[in-house]
């Protein structure tokens, strides 16, 4: 589906290499049956996947980018700076306001690193799981016990 002629044409229209009118002229004589149209629309979008299947995104993030590496090093440097200032301030009896600022900046930098890691480094993989049906035993009247008060 990635190398389909229609997908390539849509990408060329998006990039501006082909005009919309030219793309319409190309697609005028294209005939497609209703079954293949429904199969193409429903392909992996509206169908429930089987339990245990792994669903991957079509665009995978890249953790190998130099920008991501620089942001990671930047975040590590600032986290060490703010955490070091916090620990230094704790030992030297700094004011509580400065200590809370250092703690907040440390946590903020770690949160930013976590967001960048989740967005650009981790792969977009979802493992599909469904709840199992609960096993409910038959109602056995012979196993009932009568309690008298």
What DSSP letter does each residue of 57-120 carry, written as one string? -SS---TT-HHHHHHHHHHHHHHHHHHHHHHHHHHTT--HHHHHHHHHHHHHHHHHHHHHIIII
Token pair for residue 65? Answer: 């980018």
Digit-coded pLDDT (tens) for 6-48 = 777 777 877 888 888 877 777 777 776 777 666 666 665 556 6
- Per-domain residue ranges for the chain? 5-47, 66-127
Comparing 106 with 5, the larger pLDDT belongs to 106
Spatial distance between the Cα atoms of 107 and 79, rounded to a whole number of angstroms: 8
Q: Which residues contact 108 (CB under 8 A, 6 or more apart)?
A: none
Q: How confident is the model at residue 92 (pLDDT cuts 50, 70, 90)?
A: very high
pTM recorded for the entire structure: 0.47
Is the pLDDT assigned to residue 137 strictly greater than 80?
Answer: no
Mean pLDDT of the 54-80 span: 78
Q: How confident is the model at residue 90 (pLDDT cuts 50, 70, 90)?
A: very high
Spatial distance between the Cα atoms of 11 and 136, rounded to a whole number of angstroms: 54
Q: Which residues contact 23 (CB under 8 A, 6 or more apart)?
A: 9, 10, 12, 13
Considering Cα of 27, then 33, then 38, then 39, what sign does the dihedral take?
negative
């Amino acid at each position: 589906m990635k190398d389909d002629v229609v997908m390539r044409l849509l990408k060329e229209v998006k990039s501006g290499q082909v005009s919309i009118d030219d793309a319409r002229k190309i697609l005028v004589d294209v005939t497609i049956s209703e079954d293949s149209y429904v199969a193409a629309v429903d392909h992996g979008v509206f169908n429930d996947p089987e339990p245990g299947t792994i669903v991957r995104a079509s665009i995978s993030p890249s953790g190998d980018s130099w920008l991501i590496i620089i942001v990671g090093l930047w975040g590590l440097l600032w986290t060490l700076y703010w955490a070091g200032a916090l620990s230094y301030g704790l030992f030297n009896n700094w004011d509580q306001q400065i200590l809370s600022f250092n703690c907040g900046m440390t946590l903020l930098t770690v949160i930013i690193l976590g967001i960048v890691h989740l967005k650009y480094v981790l792969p977009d993989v979802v493992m599909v799981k469904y709840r199992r049906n609960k096993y409910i035993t038959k109602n056995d009247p012979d196993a009932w016990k009568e309690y008298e008060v």
